[in-house]
Amino acid sequence: MRLLKIVPDNTNIGFVKLRGWAFGLTLLLTIAAGVLVGVRGLNLGVDFVGGLMIEAKFPGDAPIDNVRKHIDALGIGDAQLQQFGPKDTVSIRLPLPPVHDEGATNALVAKVQTALAQDHVILPFNQVDTVSGKVSDELIWKGIFAVVAAVFCIALFGIVRFEWQFGVATFISIFHDVLMTLGFFALTRYEFDLNIVAAVLTIIGYSINDKIVIDDRIRENLRKYRQMPLGELIDLSVNETLPRTVMTSLTILLALASLLFFGGHVLRGFTAAMMLGVVVGTYSSIYVSSSLLITLGLDKSRFRQMEEAGDKKKAARARAERIGPKA
C-alpha cells in the first residue's frame, strides 16, 4: 500500500536565511494584534462581565432593529444585541435584575419573550446564561492567572531541560501565539468567554509540544554534529522534524474543520481560535522559536565540552572494565 506523504523525506529548506523577514513579519503582526486589543478591546462574554445572556431564534432572518426596539422599550437597562453564525439567531445580553434570584431572572426572561412575541413568531430560547458580577470578576483574574502561569511554567521547563536560550525563545514564541489569538478575537468580535480561555490554554499546549520536539532534535544534533555551523544545524533539525510537524498540524486542522462546519455556531469561536492557534503555533515553532536561538547567542561550545567530558568518562569506564578489578 502506497504511503501518503505530504512532505517528502530529506527536505533541505533554508529556514534560517529567511529569519530576518520572519522576525519583521512577526514583529509587525504582534504590534498590530496588540493595537487591536488595546483599541477595540475584546468582546467579553457574560462569563467575564456578568449579566444575562439570551439566545433567541427566529423562523427566518432575525429582525435585529425590531428586536432592539422592543428590548429598549422594556426599560431594563443597557442591552447589547449581536448576531453570529446563522442569520436567524441573535444574542441578547442584558444587565441582571436588581434582585439576584432565580424567580427574578425567570421573570425577566419571560418579559423579553412576551415583548418579542408581539411582532414575531419566536422559537423557544436556545440558551439562557446568568453570571453575577462577583463571579465574573473572579473568572477574569483566574483566567488571566491560568494563561500567565502556563506560559511562565513552560518557559521555566525549557530553561531547566535545555539552556536558557531555549526557555526565552519558547516564552517569546508562545507569547506571540497568545497575542495573535487575542488580536483575532479583537478583529472579528467573536465573543470571548471561558471556552476561549480553554482554547488558548490548548493552543499553548499544542504549541509547546511542537517546539519541544524541534528543540530536542536541535540538542541531539548539537551533540552529533559538533563542527556544523549553528544555522545549518537548526535548518537540519527543522527539516528532520518537518514531516511530523506538518502531518500533525494537518490532521488537527481536518478535525477542527469538521467541528467548524458541523459543530454549530456555539462552538464556532472556540474552533476558530483553535485553528488559528495551530497555524500560528506551527509558524512560530519553525520561524520564531528555532531561529531566535541564533539571535540569543546559543553557545555550541558548551554542548561540545559536555559531550567531550561524557566521552572521557565512557573511555575511562571502558578501560577500567578491560583491566578488571585489582587482585
Supply the DSSP string of 263-287, one letter for each residue: S-GGGHHHHHHHHHHHHHHHHIIII
**pLDDT value at residue 305:** 66
The string of pLDDT tens digits covering residues 75-103 is 777 777 777 667 778 888 777 776 666 77
Name the percent of the chain lying above pLDDT 90. 2
Name the percent of the chain lying above pLDDT 70. 82
The string of pLDDT tens digits covering residues 4-54 is 666 677 788 888 888 888 889 888 999 999 999 899 888 887 777 777 888
Q: Which range (48-57, 170-179, 273-282) has the least confidence?
A: 48-57
Q: In which element (H, E) is residue 87 found?
A: none
| pTM for this model (two decimals) | 0.72
Contact, 284 vs 238, CB < 8 A?
A: no
Average pLDDT, the chain: 79
Contact, 119 vs 73, CB < 8 A?
A: no
pLDDT at 317 over 60: yes
Strands (E) located in 58-148: 80-82, 89-94, 127-131
Q: Is the dihedral of CA 260, 193, 143, 179 positive or negative?
A: positive
pLDDT at 124 over 70: no
